[in-house]
Every structure is written in structure tokens, then in C-alpha cells.
Amino acid sequence: MRRALVSVTNKDGIVEFCQGLVQLGFEIVSTGGTLSKLQEAGIAAIAIDDVTGFPEILDGRVKTLHPKVHGGLLFRRDLPEHVATVQEHDIQPIDLVCVNLYEFEKALKAGKPMEDMIENIDIGGPSMIRSAAKNFKDVLIVTDPADYPSVLDALQEKTDDENFRLNLAYKAFSTTGAYDAMISRYFAGVVGDDFPDILNISLKKSEHLRYGENSQQRANAYVDGFVQESLLDYEQLNGKEISFNNVNDLYGAIAVVREFGDQIVTAAIKHSTPCGVAIAETGYESYMKAYKADPQSIFGGIVAVNYKIDKATALEMKKIFLEIVAAPDFDDDALEVLRTKKNLRVLKLNNLGARDAKYDIKYLEGKVLVQDINTKMIDEMKVVTHAKPTQEQLSDMEFGMKVVKFVKSNAICIVKNGVTLAIGGGQTSRVWALENAIHNNPDKDFHGAVLASDAFFPFNDCVQVAVDAGMTSIIQPGGSVRDQDSIDLCNEHNIPMVFSGFRHFRH
């Protein structure tokens, strides 16, 4: 008779699975709570200590770590010396293992104390999984309840061939690898090692994407289970499948919106760069200002907001082609309006204020760059000119820095009254970024506007261009060896300039 060893934390479907195994001629061996559940369901399961001849000890810490378990899993059926050894020691073969692990991730997300976290580190489970997976040619290893039906079908139809078993083993090693990575990162946090020598990050596929940056590139989205609340946790309410570029642009839009806290804000993004951002007293007003900031670039772009979208705003959004509209909530009639555009992706944001993610990671063909996420905005608002900014100018300076932080370097943002007038980014020269921003918006009146830069001015040419265009205040990080040149030119034109202390390169 074939034997199955079953010990699961997630007991969904386990009774039905074991009933199916019994019908197929399996004898069930089990442990602890799983054993009780199976016996309550009328399944004549055998206790693990009846197999090992040794009781479960240390509050269940030791129950399956025994030669009669691992010998039954690891011996090769095609080697006579292995067969002879297990017969000599009265070790029964184990032909199937069904195990899932203590819920370490669940305990982590529940904020359990360290003592509880340690007790949620599974030892016997990973050991059995690895033993069975190593010997996959002889042992079926089942770690996912979603696989119960296919395993029963394969056993019934006798299609549990080597390839089928290999795929289950691959999944099993992925499971234990992810589990150990989670534990490693937990202890890295406990000891305060932000950038460990071995950085274990395990990612789980969350959704298939239509394609990558280009249609010839395949793409999928993955989630980091260690991040408890993701900024990109959304529910899709309408529209076609999300693409790689959609997700990348969406992140930029939501990240901009998050910078503004409780202020009502709309951010429009095109090719991962802000093209219109505005704050206002109402969501409708905020959207209309953001749209009018750059009605050309917003076409085919992504709009993210931090307010509940009403019908009036939805009707305006419907007028143009947008790839995505993302918001924390929608009025029912607003959602009805947006759903009339069948391809428009409508996303409900679940964690707009999330700050759990720790790393900004760039994977460069085998070389991985890891840095902190850029969460700091301004060190201090240091006025470096004779002229002092007004309160209105200071507000626009802060607004400008929040936006320019998300523009590709070299980056320039021109703002007035809580609205972006022009944005220039991705240039190899800072003055070109400024000149492009002005040139691309010939209908805009820049008199009285604030100029914000993501990095310092190496020369005073940006100040001169800003003065010529009518701008009347400037904010930049400072730090150039030629800062004084820019300060002097500002003083000559009686323009206040503020140093923020932090640069915001975005490459």
C-alpha cells in the first residue's frame, strides 16, 4: 500500500484531498492538528509517533525529524543498497508528502512579538519538503492546496510522470526558498542590518502583463511579500489588461499624489514623467487645473488622484483618451460613466499612503543596484538672497519640489498657485531642460511663477533664463561651487532664492 504523509498549516481542502488519496489506495500518516481534523472526518490516519516509535516532543518542535520519516522519503527505489538499508531498519516508503508551512508571513503582518515570530519558524516542514523534492522521481511533493485536484487526477489517470513530479519539486523548492528569504529579512530588521551582505528578496507573481516596455518583450508583475502595504495595491474595476509601462507610469502618478498628504491633488503622468499636477479645494477643480496645465501631453496618459471621483469629474475625464484613472474610491455614477469606455483601466487604490517598501532596486543584467527609497524632501528652506519669499511663493516652492522629484533628470518644474505651468526633464543640460519647458508652452504666462530644480545650478544661466521669462522666485538644492554666481544674479534682479538642501536626481 502506498503511503502519504500529510501535515499542513493551511487546512483548506485537506480532508477532501486525503479522502481522494484513500480512494486511490493510500495510507495516510499525519501529525498534530492535521491528524485530528482527518480523524474527525472519519479518515483512518496513522499518528506520526506510531510510525517513528517516538512521541512528539518539545511542544511539537520535534515530530517528523526522524530516520523513519526521512529514510522513507530519501531512499532511491532504483538502488538495491538503498532498498536493502530501509528494509534492514524497518523503514516504510513514503510515496507522497503534503506539507505547507507555519504562517511566518501572517505572523509578521500581524506584528507579532519576536518570541511568537520564532515559534512560527517551521523546521520539520521545510525538511520534509526538501527531502521529498530531492527525491521527486519516487516521491510526490505537494505544497499548494491549489494543486490538490491536479495531483488526484494525475494519480487516477497514472499521468504522474517524471515531468509532473519535477514541476511539483520545482514549486516546492521555490516555496522553501521564499520562506527562508522572509525569515532572513525579518532577522535583518531585528539586528538593524539595512544592507546585508546577502540580501534575500523573494517575489511572487501577482499578474500577467500584456507586454513589456515594447510589444516584443514579455512581462509579469511580482509582489514582495515582505512589504505589508504596497503603494501599488489596486483593484481593477474596468478596462483591458495592464501592461508593463502602465504599471511603471502608475507608480509615478501615485507616488506624486502621495507626496501631498491631505491636500486634494491630481497628477497626470506621461511616459513616467508628470505632465500636469494641481492642488485645489475640490477634486473637480484639481482635475481641471491639472488637465489645462498640459492638455496635449495628458492625452494617452495616466491620471491618479487622492480623492473620491464624482460624476462631474468622471464626465470630464471621459472626454479624452486616458490609459488609466486611479483613485482611492469612486461614486457609483462616476464609475458608471468611466465604464462606458471599455478599454479605460479604472483602478481602485487600496494603500495610497503606504510607506512600507524599503528599497529602490534596479536590475542591470545581473548587477543589482539597491538604494533607500527617496523619502526625504527638504532639509531646510534656507533663503540665500536679500529678497525674502512670500508665503505664497514658499507654498509654490514646496509644491514644485514635490513634483520635480518625480521628473527625469535633469529636471525643471515651473509652478504658480499650486499648478504646474511647465515641466522639463530628461535633458543632459539643466538649462536645456528649462528652455524646453518654456519653449514647449508658448501660451503660458510665466510672470510671477516659481522655478524648481531637482539639482543645483552649475552656472547662473538658469537664473537668467528664468528672469527673462518673468519668473520671480527660485528653489534649488544648492551645493555648487559656483552657487554665489546664481545668488548674485538673483540679488541683482531682487528675486528670492531658497536652497532646499536635498537634490532629487531621477535616472
Confidence (pLDDT) at 80: 87
Q: Which helix (H) or strand (E) holds 344?
A: none
Lowest-confidence region among 280-294, 353-367, 439-453: 353-367
> What is the percent of the chain where pLDDT is above 70?
100
Is there a catalytic annotation at residue 439?
no
Terminus-to-terminus CA distance in the chain, angstroms?
Answer: 62
Secondary structure of 312-336 in the HEC alphabet? HHHHHHHCCCEEEEEECEECHHHHH
Confidence (pLDDT) at 48: 87
Confidence band, pLDDT 50/70/90 cuts, at residue 38:
very high
Answer with the one of 328, 349, 370 that is the final residue of a domain.
349
Domain total of the chain: 3
Residues 252 and 310 in one domain: yes
Confidence (pLDDT) at 195: 93
- Cβ atoms of 492 and 499 closer than 8 Å: no
CATH of the domain at 319: 3.40.140.20
Q: Which residue has the higher pLDDT, 77 or 166?
A: 166
- Give the CA distances from residue 158 to residues 139, 155, 162, 214, in Å, rounded to whole numbers and listed in that order: 14, 5, 11, 42
Nearest-angstrom CA–CA distance, 351 and 288: 25
Residues 185 and 283 in one domain: no
Confidence (pLDDT) at 84: 85
Confidence (pLDDT) at 153: 95
Starting at the edge strand found earlier in the chain, the sheet holding 140-142 runs 46-47, 26-30, 2-8, 96-100, 140-142
pLDDT of residue 446 exceeding 80, the answer is yes
Confidence (pLDDT) at 225: 86
Residues 319 and 467 in one domain: no
Provide mean pLDDT across the span 348-355: 89
Confidence (pLDDT) at 239: 94
Arithmetic mean of pLDDT over the chain? 92
pLDDT of residue 58 exceeding 80, the answer is no
Answer with the one of 161, 191, 221 that is the final residue of a domain.
191
Residue 220 within any structural domain of the chain: no
Is there a catalytic annotation at residue 134?
yes
pLDDT of residue 54 exceeding 80, the answer is no
Residue 434 within any structural domain of the chain: yes
pLDDT of residue 169 exceeding 90, the answer is yes
Confidence (pLDDT) at 57: 74
Confidence (pLDDT) at 52: 79
Q: Exactly one of 11, 109, 134, 318 is catalytic; name it.
A: 134
Q: Which residue has the higher pLDDT, 504 or 60?
A: 504
Provide mean pLDDT across the span 163-176: 95
Residues 450 and 345 in one domain: no
Confidence (pLDDT) at 380: 86
- Give the CA distances from residue 269 to residues 243, 248, 299, in Å, rounded to whole numbers and listed in that order: 15, 10, 10
Of 246, 261, 255, 231, residue with least CA distance to 349: 231
Q: Exactly one of 11, 82, 271, 341 is catalytic; name it.
A: 271
- Cβ atoms of 73 and 135 closer than 8 Å: yes
pLDDT of residue 325 exceeding 80, the answer is yes
Residues 321 and 416 in one domain: no
Nearest-angstrom CA–CA distance, 250 and 232: 8
pLDDT of residue 408 exceeding 80, the answer is yes
Confidence band, pLDDT 50/70/90 cuts, at residue 404:
very high
Confidence (pLDDT) at 71: 87
Residue 423 within any structural domain of the chain: yes
Residues 410 and 283 in one domain: no
- Cβ atoms of 169 and 143 closer than 8 Å: no
pLDDT of residue 474 exceeding 90, the answer is yes
Confidence band, pLDDT 50/70/90 cuts, at residue 356:
confident
Residues 33 and 176 in one domain: yes
> What is the percent of the chain where pLDDT is above 90?
73
Domain that holds residue 443: 382-499
Residue 137 within any structural domain of the chain: yes
- Angle in degrees, CA 141, 142, 146, rounded to 5: 155
pTM of the model: 0.84
Residues 164 and 248 in one domain: no
